[in-house]
Amino acid sequence: MGRRSGILEFAVLGLLRESPMHGYELRKRLNTSLGVFRAFSYGTLYPCLKTLVASGWLTEEPGNTAEDALAAPLTGRRAKIVYRLTAEGKEHFEELLSQTGPDTYDDEHFAARFAFFGQTSRDVRMRVLEGRRSRLEERLEKMRASLTRTRERLDDY
CATH number at 3-153: 1.10.10.10
Query: Which pLDDT belongs to residue 108?
Result: 75
Do 15 and 52 meet the contact criterion of CB atoms below 8 Å apart?
A: no
Q: Identify the pLDDT of residue 86.
A: 96
Phi and psi torsions of 2, nearest 5°: -70, 165
The distance from CA 110 to its chain's CA centroid, rounded to whole angstroms, is 9
pLDDT at residue 102 in the model? 84
The pLDDT value recorded for residue 13 is 95
> What's the confidence (pLDDT) of residue 1?
42
pTM attached to this predicted model: 0.75
Low-confidence ranges of the chain (pLDDT < 70): 1-5, 36-37, 64-78, 155-157
Going through 63-123 in order, the beta strands assigned E by DSSP cover 81-85
Domain ranges of the chain: 3-153
pLDDT of residue 65: 57
The confidence score (pLDDT) of residue 157 equals 66
